[in-house]
Amino acid sequence: MKPHSILILGALLAAPAAYAANTADDLFDLDNLRVKITTQLPYIEIHHHREPVLLLRHQDPGNTISPRFVPTSRDCPPFCVQPMSIDPDVETIGELELIDYLKRADVGEDILIIDSRTADWTADGTIPGSINIPWTKLDLAHADNTEIADILKFEFGAIPQGELWDFSNAKTLVMFCNGPWCGQSPTNIRTLLTLGYPAEKLKWYRGGMQSWEQFGFTTVDP
């Protein structure tokens, strides 16, 4: 697929409709994007469900964040402010670190980027290159042991050893949800730590979809 075709896909799946109002030059001139990721990184090409996607920032400087991420005062509980660190050994990452993990996962490294949100939240789009595992499927209060064990084994690459698990070849998991006020991915990370998942193989994108939308990054259907 030619680069401009990938760009069309990325543009059409980006959440804001204003993208369609960009001129042809805006859409096709990848060498002169108005809004880059960094000065040295204008965009990246990755895959989402094996389909090529151009991950870039929205090119309209007048674009605004999705309305569902505008409210500042959500009921707490459940929408309480999360700490900056879940665990001393679990790394909290930002957008550029997440993009690096997306690139590494795209070329076959043992990395999973996981959207921990439930279907009512993912319906409006997710981060390209991520997979959706709703937090309830990994939560001891919502899922049974067999369901959790299947995810550990078949999705994460852990090996059962009696009542314990061998995580030596398990994947690095990069988890996110709606943002600093969302407890879905933090709940899953704490559960995985309880089960013995190595902290150094767990990464948390604390900013979540709220920060992703604030930067105008491409979103896709989950």
Mean pLDDT of the chain: 89
Strand, helix or coil at 218?
Answer: coil
Q: Which residues pair with 205 in a beta bridge?
A: 93
* 175 occurs within a structural domain: yes
Domain shared by 95 and 182, yes or no = yes
Domain shared by 45 and 85, yes or no = no
- Name, in order, each residue with C-beta under 8 angstroms of 100's C-beta and a sequence gap of 6 or more: none
Domain shared by 22 and 122, yes or no = no
Cβ atoms of residues 118 and 100 within 8 Å: no
pLDDT at 153 over 50: yes
Domain shared by 111 and 175, yes or no = yes
Domain shared by 56 and 80, yes or no = no
Which of the two residues, 86 and 7, has the higher pLDDT score? 86
Whole-number pLDDT of residue 161: 93
Domain shared by 100 and 169, yes or no = yes
Domain shared by 146 and 177, yes or no = yes
Taking only the tens place, the pLDDT of each residue in 116-125 is 999 999 999 9
Strand, helix or coil at 125?
Answer: coil
Q: For the purposes of burial, counting CB atoms within 10 Å of the CB of 158, is it exposed (0-12), middle (13-18) or buried (19 or more)?
A: buried
Taking only the tens place, the pLDDT of each residue in 162-190 is 889 999 999 999 999 999 999 999 999 99
Give 5's pLDDT tier (boundaries 50, 70, 90): very low
CA–CA gap between residue 112 and residue 115 (Å, rounded): 10
**Residue 22: which domain range?**
3-60
**The two structure tokens encoding residue 19:** 């993208």
Whole-number pLDDT of residue 29: 84
Whole-number pLDDT of residue 163: 87
Domain shared by 100 and 196, yes or no = yes
Entry pTM: 0.89
Domain shared by 99 and 166, yes or no = yes
Number of domains in the chain: 2
Taking only the tens place, the pLDDT of each residue in 51-69 is 999 999 999 989 999 999 9
Mean pLDDT over 145-152 rounds to: 96
Strand, helix or coil at 93?
Answer: strand
34, 60, 86: which is the final residue of a domain? 60
Domain shared by 27 and 84, yes or no = no
- Name, in order, each residue with C-beta under 8 angstroms of 176's C-beta and a sequence gap of 6 or more: 98, 113, 114, 115, 116, 127, 130, 185, 204, 205, 206, 207, 208, 209
**Residue that is written with structure tokens 């994947």 in the block:** 171
* 49 occurs within a structural domain: yes
Domain shared by 144 and 83, yes or no = yes
60: left (phi over 0), alpha (psi -120 to 50) or beta: beta
**The two structure tokens encoding residue 95:** 């957008």
Domain shared by 11 and 107, yes or no = no
